[in-house]
Amino acid sequence: MIGGGARSAEVTLPGFTHDICSAVHPFGIVSPFWKTLPLSAHGLEWIEPPVQIGHPLDEGRAAIAVRSLDATAAGLGRDRDVYKKIVGSVVRDWPKISPAVLGPPAIPRHPIALGRFGLRALRSIDRLSASAFAEDATKALVAGIAAHGMRPLDGALTAGVALSMGALGHVSGWPIPRGGAQRITDALAAHLRSLGGEIVPGTRVTSIDALPPAKIVMCDLSPRPLLQIAGHRMPPSYRRALERYRYGMGAFKVDWALSGPIPWTSADCRRAGTLHLGGTAREIALAEQATWDGTTPDRPFVLLSQPTVFDPSRAPTGKHVAWGYCHVPHGSTVDMLDRIERQIERFAPGFRDGVLARAVTTPAQMEASNANLVGGDIGAGVMDLGQFFTRPTWRNYATPVKGLYVCSASTPPGPGVHGMCGYHAAQLALRQL
């Protein structure tokens, strides 16, 4: 099956279409490369939920992010002005800073805007929140966004995750593709085929020696599987550099077929495409830190998407699907189903009564289905300062082997369904050719 991290299938019951990996695509819709492709002509249609992010808190309260910066800020009490100032500056400067966020390391074209962003982005979200925000709801909202980075929230750069992903909610939203993530893949594949490209699915490449001769070989692989199929062609120093590459936390995923929409206590959460379930910023920080340290929190941070609220085509009439995962220690074998569902029940009592079927994917199953997901790490390697610019090595897309390139999420700009790793790798390969 083509698509890797962007696929959909009926994994619970017939007629219920679930996203196997990616579900929500803030980076996909802004991808400068994809904007140049006729993907809508090949059937890709983005749906923008009215609420981008719902972050329920106890007692029925919720922090939410909608497309409008002003409306979002207005819901954040005493933080209204400071949210508008901090997140608004990223929104305003997005055209100037996006080449740096979505590009390979390069001399900046807009150093002032990038500097303004970078000074905050390099910080931890813990510190930024403590110095900037007064409301628990704001702190929880930005902590939930930062947690997408799969690192402890007191780590450098976690503010950058919150600011860039948070700003994208206001720039172009956190959309879902009608019909599921597979539609992104199908549109890309249709375009490739229209250009004469050929795709050979169902074939595991066990050595690059088995590939037909070519001037360029692009490997959509993270370092560990890359070493397995191409290590024997690499000089020892490069092999060692790839071996030193660090993978991070894993994910434990659940797909649900539901008899109705999720009964969120907060009405705003019923209109949200993405939900962050972890309570306060402190709770989320503790859960992420524990997970990072190798222990399993009782209340994990859960990311959830409810696409059928906006796209009824993905389930039988009146029925729904939901997609969710929590972070777990690298390679964890702990069953998280009950803990994930308890976090949902906490903010949507009665959720379990509506479950028709569920499908669980453990870190080991993820890795077995896609060699890139080492230990269940859906981020293709830790995204900290040490692996941000030199991803997977200082060479980025290039390798010392002539004509061999890396183009996966283990290269800049990193994980997410956006096509920019492949785009930059291809640009380099063509220049060198």
Q: Does 52 bind ligand FAD (CB under 6 A)?
A: no
Q: What is the dihedral of CA 174, 339, 362, 326, to 10 degrees?
A: 30
Smallest distance from the beta carbon of 421 to ligand FAD, in angstroms?
6
Going by their DSSP bridges, the two strands 176-177 and 272-277 should be labelled as unpaired
Strands (E) across 29-180 are located at: 46-47, 51-56, 62-65, 176-177
Tell me the per-residue interface mask from 314 to 333 with ligand FAD, x by CB under 6 A, - otherwise. -----------x--------
Smallest distance from the beta carbon of 317 to ligand FAD, in angstroms?
26
Other C-beta atoms lying within 10 Å of the C-beta of residue 116: 17
Closest among 73, 163, 79 to 119, alpha carbons compared? 163
Q: Does 199 bind ligand FAD (CB under 6 A)?
A: no
The smaller minimum CB distance to ligand FAD, of residues 204 and 215, is found at 204
CA distances 124 to 159, 178, 285, 309, Å, are 5, 35, 11, 34
Closest among 359, 327, 326 to 344, alpha carbons compared? 326
**Options 30, 87, 251, 321; binder of ligand FAD; rule CB under 6 A:** 251
Which amino acid, one-letter code, is at 191? H
The position carrying tokens 């796209």 is 311
Q: Tell me the CB-side half-sphere exposure of residue 46, using CA atoms within 13 A.
A: 17
Tokens matching residue 366: 């993820």
| Binding region for ligand FAD (CB under 6 A) out of 102-110, 256-264, 307-315, 364-372 | 364-372
Say how many Å lie between the first and final Cα of the chain, rounded: 30
Tokens matching residue 269: 């959460």
**Options 183, 253, 276, 299; binder of ligand FAD; rule CB under 6 A:** 253
Strands (E) across 44-134 are located at: 46-47, 51-56, 62-65
Total interface residues for ligand FAD by CB under 6 A: 30
Smallest distance from the beta carbon of 42 to ligand FAD, in angstroms?
19
Q: Does 185 bind ligand FAD (CB under 6 A)?
A: no
| Residue showing the smallest CB distance to ligand FAD in the complex | 5
The smaller minimum CB distance to ligand FAD, of residues 25 and 239, is found at 25
Q: Quote the DSSP letter at residue 35.
A: G
392 preceded by a cis bond (ω within 30 of 0) = yes
Q: How far apart are CA 275 and CA 303, in angstroms?
A: 6
Q: How far apart are CA 291 and CA 151, in angstroms?
A: 9
| Binding region for ligand FAD (CB under 6 A) out of 24-32, 41-49, 53-61, 336-344 | 24-32
Closest among 430, 432, 380 to 408, alpha carbons compared? 380
Q: How far apart are CA 238 and CA 233, in angstroms?
A: 10
**Options 107, 198, 199, 204; binder of ligand FAD; rule CB under 6 A:** 204
Tell me the per-residue interface mask from 366 to 405 with ligand FAD, x by CB under 6 A, - otherwise. x---xxxx----x-x-------------------------
Q: Does 287 bind ligand FAD (CB under 6 A)?
A: no
Q: Does 146 bind ligand FAD (CB under 6 A)?
A: no
**Options 49, 56, 225, 412; binder of ligand FAD; rule CB under 6 A:** 225
**Options 11, 17, 25, 257; binder of ligand FAD; rule CB under 6 A:** 25
**Options 102, 221, 262, 304; binder of ligand FAD; rule CB under 6 A:** 221
**Options 188, 409, 428, 429; binder of ligand FAD; rule CB under 6 A:** 409
Closest among 94, 48, 57 to 77, alpha carbons compared? 57
**Options 37, 122, 189, 205; binder of ligand FAD; rule CB under 6 A:** 205
The smaller minimum CB distance to ligand FAD, of residues 224 and 319, is found at 224
Q: Does 174 bind ligand FAD (CB under 6 A)?
A: no
| Binding region for ligand FAD (CB under 6 A) out of 80-88, 97-105, 221-229, 342-350 | 221-229
Tokens matching residue 361: 């994917």
Q: Does 229 bind ligand FAD (CB under 6 A)?
A: yes
Other C-beta atoms lying within 10 Å of the C-beta of residue 50: 14
Q: Does 24 bind ligand FAD (CB under 6 A)?
A: yes
Tokens matching residue 54: 């719902």
Smallest distance from the beta carbon of 393 to ligand FAD, in angstroms?
16
Q: Does 11 bind ligand FAD (CB under 6 A)?
A: no
Q: Please report, as ranges, the residues that interact with ligand FAD according to CB under 6 A.
A: 4-6, 21-25, 27, 204-205, 220-221, 225, 229, 251, 253, 325, 366, 370-373, 378, 380, 408-409, 415-417
